[in-house]
Amino acid sequence: MSGADELVFPAEFTISPLADSVVEAVGFPVHHAYVELLWLPVIGPSTAWLLRRLGSWAEACPDGVTVQLADLAGWLGISAGAGASSTVQRSLRRLVRFGLASWHGQRLEVRTMVPPISERHLRRLSPSLRDAHDRLVAGRQAA
């Protein structure tokens, strides 16, 4: 069990960008097809949508934006419950567990660029998704 598994997010917190020059050099924007094709099978649909929403907000408001947990759940079309076992809490924890966000007290730093998925996760995907990964990463490196 990781530290992320024990997090319980408060009813209100701030979203800001998670800066990482290495990921920014080799990664993909949160709204890129790579997130849907490759990260979604790893983190799940609720977490993928959450990443896209929060990453877009962090990019648009680099000084931070305050969100209400219940509103966030509603905007994603998931249960508005905000208890420790709610879908929105589990999705936020998954972002932290996979290194797509980092929790700092009342602030959630969220990636606006995602790294290519790890080799361990890539091995679990279908051959067609591994091929898509290879093409997208090669295209990113050529750019």
pLDDT tens digit string along 69-95? 988 988 888 876 667 778 899 999 999
Instruction: Tell me the C-alpha distance between 15 and 32, whole Å.
Output: 20
Q: Is residue 128 part of a domain?
A: yes
Q: Is residue 2 part of a domain?
A: no
Instruction: Tell me the C-alpha distance between 34 and 37, whole Å.
Output: 5
Number of domains the chain is built from? 1
Supply 49's token pair.
């949508």
Q: Which domain holds residue 45?
A: 11-142
Tens digit of pLDDT for each residue in 2-45? 677 789 999 999 999 998 999 998 999 999 999 999 999 999 99
pTM of the model: 0.91
Select from 37, 40, 55 the least CA-distant residue to 128. 37
Q: Is residue 1 part of a domain?
A: no
